[in-house]
């Protein structure tokens, strides 16, 4: 565990980063890693001199397994509430099946195939045991951080997935972005997999416009916002054809919270 800024800690979980944030009325955890990451996260909480019950909120940046995998176990152990964007809730609950977004490069396509194969292999041999979880709070509600008294905001930052969100902390100007950006060779670059390239570009701009000084990605080390390097191809217009699954998801999400 390493301190990123005052009261903000990076906790390496299984396959992805989780982040602990100290708030006036408890702890906030951003993302939870793959199933089995809860043990390391609870140890990190203990290192801060806190009890499991001090974890009050688990914020899920998006629906992928390496970010929501331990959410159910942590909720059971700590009593914390889970929060996500309404679009991501049915995936956490197991109502909809998680699928990897499209890849925009040859390398991304290779990674997509390998990770998909690895996931189903691990699931087949029951090495990964994903527990579904009920999401309590919608991140598009302004009150989601009020219970813990955290000075910040949850910003909708779609692109990697339709319901991806970022936690922005006002006092430290830290943005915890999930998979909106990834750290690679000392830079913050676009994710390998994206549902919508144009939305990713707009979301990165939104985070930078907030005045973020430190960006904490789901993969790789936190880096200064000055290290953001988005390829020019990100600016090309993309024609998005809405799939039937997305239309069904929008209808479903409208009545979730």
Q: For the segment 97-140, what is each residue's pLDDT rounded down to a tens digit?
A: 666 676 666 655 665 555 654 454 444 445 566 789 999 999 98
Q: What number of CA atoms fall less than 13 Å from residue 153's CA on the CB side?
A: 12
Q: Where are the domains of the chain?
A: 2-235
Fold for the domain defined by 2-235: Metallo-beta-lactamase; Chain A (3.60.15)
Q: What is the pLDDT of residue 232?
A: 61
Structure tokens at 137: 């709070």
Q: What is the pLDDT of residue 110?
A: 63
φ, ψ dihedrals at 243, nearest 5°: -85, 160
Comparison of pLDDT for 82 and 125, the residue scoring more: 82
The radius of gyration of the chain from alpha carbons, rounded to an integer in Å, stands at: 17
Kindly tell me if the per-residue pLDDT of 96 is higher than 80.
no
Kindly tell me if the per-residue pLDDT of 2 is higher than 50.
yes
Q: What is the pLDDT of residue 130?
A: 72
- Contact criterion met (CB below 8 Å) for 40 and 69: no
- Rounded to whole angstroms, the Cα distance separating 67 from 59 reads 10
Kindly tell me if the per-residue pLDDT of 160 is higher than 80.
yes
> Per this entry, what is the length of the chain?
257
Q: What is the pLDDT of residue 181?
A: 97
Q: What is the pLDDT of residue 254?
A: 46
């Amino acid at each position: 565990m390493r301190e990123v800024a005052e009261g903000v800690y990076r906790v390496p979980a299984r396959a992805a980063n989780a982040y602990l944030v100290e708030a006036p009325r408890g702890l906030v955890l951003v993302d939870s890693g793959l199933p089995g990451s809860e043990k390391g996260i609870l140890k990190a909480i203990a290192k801060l001199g806190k009890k499991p019950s001090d974890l009050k909120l688990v914020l899920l940046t998006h629906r992928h397994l390496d970010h929501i995998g331990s959410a159910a176990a942590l909720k059971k152990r700590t009593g914390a509430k889970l929060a996500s964007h309404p679009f991501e809730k049915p995936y956490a609950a197991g109502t909809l099946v998680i699928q990897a977004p499209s890849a925009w490069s040859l390398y991304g396509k290779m990674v997509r195939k390998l990770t998909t194969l690895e996931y189903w292999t691990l699931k087949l041999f029951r090495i990964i045991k994903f527990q579904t979880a009920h999401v309590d709070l919608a991140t598009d509600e302004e009150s989601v951080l009020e219970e813990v008294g955290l000075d910040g905001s949850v910003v909708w930052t779609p692109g990697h997935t339709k319901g991806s969100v970022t936690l922005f902390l006002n006092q430290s100007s830290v943005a915890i972005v999930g998979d909106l950006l990834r750290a690679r060779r000392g830079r913050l670059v676009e994710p390998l997999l994206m549902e919508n390239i144009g939305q990713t570009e707009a979301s990165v701009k939104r985070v930078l416009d907030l005045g973020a000084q430190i960006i904490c990605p789901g993969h790789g080390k936190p880096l200064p916002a000055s290290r953001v390097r988005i390829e020019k191809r990100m600016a090309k217009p993309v024609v998005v054809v809405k799939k039937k699954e997305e239309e069904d998801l929008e209808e479903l999400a409208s009545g979730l919270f």
